[in-house]
Amino acid sequence: MSTAVASSNSPSKTSTPTQVEDLRVTGVKRLITPVEVKELHKASPETLTAILEARNTARRILRGEDPRLMVVVGPCSIHDTESAMDYARRLKALADELQDRLFIVMRVYFEKPRTTVGWKGLINDPHLDDSGDVEYGIKLGRKLLLEIAELGLPAGTEFLDPIIPQYIADLISWAAIGARTTESQTHREMSSGLSMPVGFKNGTDGSIQTACDAMRSACSPHNFLGIDQEGMTSIIRTSGNPDSHIVLRGGRDGTNYGPEHTALAAERLKQAGMPSSLMIDCSHANSGKDPKRQPDVLKSLVEQRAAGRKDIVAAMIESHIHLGSQPAAKDGLRYGVSITDACLDWESTAALLRSV
């Protein structure tokens, strides 16, 4: 076979490297560092002391050392900081009123996992226009958490992106890992380094074993990739988080808050060598996503506790100022109405908690 050789008189061609990276990336923007955000919205020593005490209270309840019921209550998601603070002020007054029997934590969720696509939450899309202004979302979220903390009201959130805790976790008293991420190694590793109690939801299929496995993993030491306070990629080493529990939220086959379900969950946890503390999510599959059915779930929880079930120590309620939900939109939103899951209204929430 003959080989063609280019003539020395042939015009030269400029060669370009073959691109193999970022073929589908349309942009990269450096993000403000955690230490910069914390300096911008700085927590006072008094505020941080109150958060530490709230975490310790949650731990005591989970361990059965405090007989009160812990209730994590608030909007399915935060999309409007004005209505969130309105809700927080109402909830703080109610928490003070009921503090002898309830330890109330406000649900302040900024990240929303999606089954396919949809609004991803205040941090990812604060303008509700799919612009992805994450830096503004982080600043806005931290500012809101700081204002809630300064009221003296503990906050709880679900951590979805493993980078976000470096920006806001110091203001969180209780954390959740969602049904879609409980099975994720990344989230189990992240939870092993969190400084507050963590609740693992059962899987969307209703599997309790998934949450039990997550708890065992989270209480163990791990090494994984993350960022430090200066935003540098780092190896994170953790000692393990012993303050975890299961959150029963129902599944595709129905509810799992009844006495037979809670007894099974407690037994599974004991067999796994894990604490048998249970939180019951009154929303999601346990209510069939009908907020008006959440009181029925809480009533069952209270009855089980009255019958001697000391391992049922906490509840979660999705509640906002007004009943129901509305589609996410940049303009024309009704004040105090959820743009994700439908929520119970404030008046019904207050009456429900006073009845416990």
**CATH code for position 89:** 3.20.20.70
Nearest CA among 56, 50, 18, 15 for reference residue 153: 50
- Amino acid identity at 305: R
With respect to residue 26, please indicate whether it lies within any of the assigned structural domains: no
Q: What is the pLDDT of residues 289-315, one digit of tens each?
A: 999 999 999 999 999 999 999 999 999
pLDDT in tens, 217-245: 999 999 999 999 999 999 999 999 999 99
SS3 for the chain is CCCCCCCCCCCCCCCCCCCCCCCCCCCCCCCCCHHHHHHHCCCCHHHHHHHHHHHHHHHHHHCCCCCCEEEEEECCCCCCHHHHHHHHHHHHHHHHHCCCCEEEEEECCCCCCCCCCCCCCCCCCCCCCCCCCHHHHHHHHHHHHHHHHHCCCCEEEECCCCCCHHHHHHHCCEEEECCCCCCCHHHHHHHHHCCCCEEEECCCCCCHHHHHHHHHHHCCCEEEEEECCCCCEEEEEECCCCCEEEEECCECCECCCCHHHHHHHHHHHHHCCCCCCEEEECCHHHCCCCHHHHHHHHHHHHHHHHCCCCCEEEEEEEECCCCEECCCCCCCCCCCCECCCCEECHHHHHHHHHCC
Look at the alpha carbons of 10, 14, 19, 22 in this order and tell me if their dihedral is positive or negative.
negative
Q: Which of 225, 113, 227 is nearest to 180 (CA)?
A: 113
5 within domain boundaries:
no
Per-residue confidence band for 200, with pLDDT thresholds at 50, 70 and 90? very high
What's the mean pLDDT in 90-108? 98
User: Looking at the predicted structure, is the pLDDT value of residue 3 above 80?
Assistant: no
Report residue 169's pLDDT band, with 50, 70 and 90 as the boundaries.
Answer: very high
AA identity, residue 317: I
pLDDT at 36 exceeding the cut of 50: yes
* 7 belongs to a structural domain: no
Per-residue model confidence (pLDDT) at position 5:
36
- Structural domains counted in the chain: 1
Q: Give yes or no for residue 262 having a pLDDT over 50.
A: yes
Contact 326, 82 (CB under 8 A): no
Would you say residue 19 lies in a domain?
Answer: no
> Over the stretch 118-162, which tens digit does the pLDDT of each residue have?
899 999 999 999 999 999 999 999 999 999 999 999 999 999 999
pTM: 0.93
Task: Give percent of the chain above pLDDT 90.
Answer: 91
Q: What is the pLDDT of residue 115?
A: 66
Structure tokens at 355: 């009845």
In this prediction, residue 20 carries a pLDDT of 92
- What pLDDT is attached to residue 117? 76
Q: How far apart are CA 269 and CA 200, in angstroms?
A: 12
Question: Mean pLDDT throughout 174-188?
Answer: 96
Decide if pLDDT at 10 tops 90.
no
C-alpha dist (Å) from residue 15 to 8, 18, 20, 53, 208: 17, 9, 15, 64, 58
pLDDT of residue 142: 98
The answer to whether the CB of 173 falls within 8 A of the CB of 155 is: yes
Is residue 23 in a domain?
Answer: no
Whether residue 24 lies inside any domain: the answer is no
Across the chain, mean pLDDT equals 94
Find out whether 172 and 157 touch, Cβ atoms under 8 Å.
yes
Q: Say what the pLDDT of residue 1 is.
A: 39
Selected residue with higher pLDDT from 113 and 111: 111
Q: Is the pLDDT of residue 350 over 90?
A: yes
- Tell me, yes or no, whether 137 lies in a domain: yes
Per the structure, the complete domain to which residue 303 belongs is given by 34-354
Residue 4, pLDDT > 70, answer no
Q: Is pLDDT of 334 > 50?
A: yes
Confidence label for 112 from pLDDT (cuts 50, 70 and 90): confident
Residue 27 covered by a domain: no
Report pLDDT for 16: 57
Percent of the chain with pLDDT over 70: 95
